[in-house]
Structure 1
Amino acid sequence: MEHILSRLWRKCQTLGLSSSYMGHSDVHKVVRRMSTLPFCREEHVAIVRDTCYQMAANNSLLLSFMQYMDTTWLGVRPLFPYKIWSRYRVLGPRTNNHLEGFHHALNRKISYAHPNIYTLIKILINYQNSNDLKLIQINNGSTVNRINYSYEIKDRMISNLTDIYEESEDVITFLDELLSLLYKYVFPNLSN
């Protein structure tokens, strides 16, 4: 999700849409709606796309942004198809922070550059043994490495909102409510 946000923001800057975005105009609405598309069902992406094209009709720079969206994310043969960037009903990590944490811990265990293969194998075997032990504990009813409570709350909020969206089928209202939720609780530093 953050990858898409940063790509969209870079494109806004490249096209000179930054000041219009900050002015909370149609540019602001279009870019934010495009940033929430990963949470939509695939069949609703075209509805959002068409709505945003209508909003962009009188703004050549915003039309350029929408053409970028088509070639990169939304078109018939986009660079990144929906199945790659969709987060619809995906539970679990929204980022790769857990992988970065693993790599950081692995680098700390090795503690020097260019270890030989035997040292690396020994460390990986220790990780495997540790994970096997955690699986045994989980199978016996223990909870191991519980998810951070704040992430659990955010995931539940997104899931509840998605449940409402599935019942109503109103994708535009869903995206607008999701925008409020995401920019207030999940990405507060991007709330411009």
Structure 2
Amino acid sequence: MPNVLKSYPLILWNYFKYDGPRTNNHVEGFHTRLMKKAGKSHPNLFEVVQLFIHEEASSNVQVLQLESGQSAPRRRRRYDDIDNRLERLGLEYMLCERSLASYLGAIGHMMDSVYRR
């Protein structure tokens, strides 16, 4: 058994049936937007503080819009399809309709085809 499995309990690194983001793309997107707003790769401390103040104001506006009933931006259908397929595969595995090898193979095949696009 690899040392990683001995060092960290399964609950810390297993994302089976996790409803949150599958990647850190949202973090990368936030960083990219922030750096574009900064206009340079190494802003000074005061510029960073101003960026965060403006970002907080933008976030507050978005929260108010959502609270007032405006719908959230729509995700791409492609990602909804991936989520639905992963959900179905997970359910098949949990109901013992798929073996672990079949479940992992199906996810691998699906992700391989997704990233070839």
TM-score class, shorter-chain normalisation, is 0.7 to 0.9
Q: 1:190 to 1:127 in 2, by over 3 A?
A: closer
2:105 is the counterpart of 1:176: no
In the alignment, which residue of structure 2 is the partner of 1:146?
Answer: 74
What is the match of residue 186 of structure 1? 111
Q: Which ranges of 4 or more aligned residues in structure 1 deviate by more than 6 Å?
A: none
Of 18, 26, 30, the match for 1:98: 26
Return the offset for 1:184.
3.2
TM-score, with length taken from structure 1: 0.52
The two structures, once aligned, show a CA RMSD in angstroms of 2.5
In percent, how many aligned pairs have the same letter?
24
Unaligned runs of 5+ in 1: 1-66
Compute the displacement of 1:124 (Å): 1.0
TM-aligned CA deviation for residue 144 of structure 1 = 2.4
Question: Aligned equivalents of 1:124 and 1:156: distance in 2?
Answer: 35
Q: Which runs of 5+ in 2 are unaligned?
A: none
> Does structure 1 retain, via aligned residues, the 8 Å contact 2:93–2:100?
yes
Map 1:79-158 → 2, pairs under 5 A: 79-158=7-86
CA contact (8 A) 2:37 2:51 kept: yes
Count how many residue pairs are aligned between Structure 1 and Structure 2: 116
Superimposed CA distance per residue, residues 77-114 of structure 1 (whole angstroms, 9 cap, x where no aligned partner) = x1332122111211131111111111111111112243
- Give the structure with the higher percent helix: 1
Higher relative contact order (CA 8 A, sep 6+): 1
Following superposition of structure 1 onto structure 2, how do residues 63-82 of structure 1 map, counting pairs within 5 Å? Answer: 67-68=1-2, 71-73=3-5, 78-82=6-10
The aligned residue for residue 89 of structure 2 is: 161
Tell me, in whole angstroms, the C-alpha distance in 1 between the residues paired with 2:55 and 2:72: 15
